Structures are given as C-alpha cells and as structure tokens.
Amino acid sequence: MKKLILLLLAINVFTVGHTQIIRGVVIDESNRAKINFATIYINGTSIGTYSDKNGYFELDITKHNSLPLTISALGYYSATLTDFISDKIIEVRLSPKTYELKEVIVTDKSHRKERIANLKLFNAQFLGSSANGRKCVILNEEDIKFVDTGSSLKAFAVKPIEIVNNGLGYKITYYLDLFDYNRESGFYSYKGNALFKEDMSVGMTKNSIFEKRRKKAYIGSIFHFFRSLWRNSLESNGFNVRNGEDKVVKYEDIVTIGSDFKKYLSYKGNLYIYYLSKPPDSYIELVKDRVYFDNVGYFDGSGVKIIGQMATQRIGDLLPYDFELK
C-alpha cells in the first residue's frame, strides 16, 4: 500500500511538472482597453478558452505546446504567438479591423442576384467544390461582406464564420482575416484561423461514415505529407519527393534541426511530391529559407506555396491537428 501511494505521488508530481498553463491579458492596441470574450486557442484544434471581463485568460496547452497560440476577437484581426514564456503573464495586443467597404445597399433584385452569385463563388473557393466542401453549411452568411470589382472578389467578416461540416462531422468557428479571388487568373488566397468541435448531435452510424470520409480526406494530403516527413516515414506512407531534375530528394536533404531542437523544411528549388507512385500533381515552393513544421502536421503556411492537387483542399476537407487515423 505504501509503495502504491508513493507511485501515485510520483505520477502526480510528474504530471504537474509537465503541465503548461498559459496566462495573459488581451488589450486593444489602439487604446489599451481590455478586450473581454476574446477567443484564445490553438489554431486547428478544439483547445481554447475565452478572456474574462478584464481581458484575462488561462489556457492549458500541454497537449500542443509546440504549436502557435492564436487570439481572436470580434472586430479585430487575429494575433498569433509563436514565441512566449509560459511562466509569465503575456500581453496580447489586437489591432481593430478597419475595412473600407463600399457596400451596396440591397434594395432591388439585381443586387440580390449579385450577392447570391458572390456567395456561390465564395463558397466554392473557401469551402471547396469537393464532396465534403459541398456538404458544408455556413450558418451566418449575412455576416460576410463582399467587394466585387469585376475582376476580383474580396470577402470580409467582422464576426467569425460558423460552419457545419456535414461531410466530416465537425463544427468550425473560422476567424477570416483575408479572402481574395481573381477571376481572370483563377488565383485565390485566404487567411484565417479555425477552432474545431466534434458534431455531438450525430449517432454511432453517422460517426463511422465520418471516420471513412476523414481518412479519405487525410490520405495523400499536405497534412499527411508533413506528418510523414516529421517521422522520416515518407516512403512507408506512400510519398516520394523529387527535385526539378527528377532526382529523389531524401529526408536529410530537406530537413534540418535548429538550435531550438525543432524541425524545419529547408531546400532551394521546388519539391515535387509523388503519392503512391503517381505522377506528381503537387509541388512545394519555399518562400522562406526554412519553414517550421511539427509532428501533428502543422507547418508555417506563410513560408510555403503549395501548387497542384494538395492546394485544392479547402475548409471542407480541413482536419484538426488532433485527428488520428484509425
């Protein structure tokens, strides 16, 4: 009995010693006012909390302590922290969103038709045209505003976009900071952060269907690629990477370990990705000297351009970082 008590005490000490609680306060950058009900979360997961009336928050990040911390609030641009000390109270400053929108007051049928067309285009590019993308429903479309110049479509949302993914069984709160689609070139870009929740309203039969769909969305994705790269298991997971001269690029040619013991993707030139020996339909172009990536599939999206099949996956096929293949 004495040995059991000592063992339990040792386990408790170990757990407490490795628990990481982030504490901080969220303020308005322009006037230093405290921001209440801001969302503090790990982007791409279900881990999050809210700031109180004094802007104060606490969040346990033990499970994802290597991932950036994101802070979002109504009417503000999101902030992402990648370098912070967990034993100190951090101050997070959010910048107010200031859109110069020349909005058209919808008073006639022609304007309503224009908005419907814009929403259709936005949904196709933002949610995606895949089976999962088509099953997504945005609950608050009225909060999305458009600026249509003819050649391009920009979208803004002061409030977070609430999405129900009926294909994969998730509810997603998406904080949109940027959406821009060029009709002439077909080029699009969007930037934002997602907070996931399992859809608890479905039964066991539906859950098994979701698992199959999630697996299909995961296999061969950029998410799958970076997880495999981190584990140095590209080949066993069906991936093959080649350079512009069609020569095989090995793990040690593209992965470096920094002084912080984190892994980085580093390579000069494009990396062409084969999956299951198929011709490459995707390639990666680095826009930074090195790009941080993690074992859960996270990577610094600002340092990478993804072209081809992997880039076609949109919000409708997005999986949380705590997704595990069963």
Q: What pLDDT was estimated at residue 202?
A: 63
Q: Cα–Cα–Cα angle for 297, 192, 319, nearest 5°?
A: 35
Q: Where are the domains of the chain?
A: 2-94, 109-198, 219-317
Model pLDDT for residues 250-274, shown as the tens digit of each residue: 999 999 999 888 999 999 999 999 9
Q: What is the pLDDT along the chain (326 residues), one digit of tens a residue?
A: 444 444 444 444 344 445 789 999 999 999 999 999 999 999 999 999 999 999 999 999 988 888 899 999 998 999 999 877 767 899 999 999 876 544 444 444 557 888 999 999 999 999 998 999 999 999 999 999 998 888 999 999 889 999 999 999 999 999 998 899 999 988 888 889 999 998 776 665 678 899 999 999 999 999 999 999 999 999 999 999 999 999 999 999 999 999 888 999 999 999 999 998 777 788 999 999 999 999 999 999 889 999 888 888 899 999 999 899 87
Query: What is the rounded CA–CA span in Å between residue 20 and residue 257?
Result: 23
Query: What is the rounded CA–CA span in Å between residue 185 and residue 188?
Result: 9
Q: What pLDDT was estimated at residue 10?
A: 42
Q: Give the phi and the psi of residue 108 in degrees, each rounded to 5.
A: -135, 175
Q: What pLDDT was estimated at residue 207?
A: 82
Residues across the chain: 326
Q: What pLDDT was estimated at residue 3?
A: 46
- Dmax of the chain from CA atoms? 80
3-state secondary structure the chain: CHHHHHHHHHHHHHHHHCCCEEEEEEEECCCCCECCCCEEECCCECCEEECCCCCEEEEECHHHCCCCEEEECCCECCEEECCCCCCCCEEEEECECCCCCCCCCCCCHHHHHHHHHHHHHHHHHHCCCCHHHHCEEECCHHHEEEEECCCEEEEEECCCEEEEECCCCEEEEEEEEEEEEECCCCCEEEEEEEEEEECCCCCHHHHHHHHHHHHHHHCCCHHHHHHHHHCCCCCCCCEEEECCCCCECCHHHHEEECCCCCEEECCCCCEEEEECCCCCCEEEEECCCCEEECCCCCECHHHEEEEEHHHHCCHHHCCCCCCCCC
CATH of span 2-94: 2.60.40.1120
Q: Cα–Cα–Cα angle for 307, 313, 318, nearest 5°?
A: 130
Q: What pLDDT was estimated at residue 219?
A: 94
Q: What pLDDT was estimated at residue 88?
A: 84
Q: What pLDDT was estimated at residue 34?
A: 97
Q: What pLDDT was estimated at residue 2?
A: 46
Query: What is the rounded CA–CA span in Å between residue 67 and residue 320?
Result: 13
Query: What is the rounded CA–CA span in Å between residue 266 and residue 290?
Result: 5
Select from 115, 155, 173 the least CA-distant residue to 315.
173
| Amino acid sitting at position 211 | E
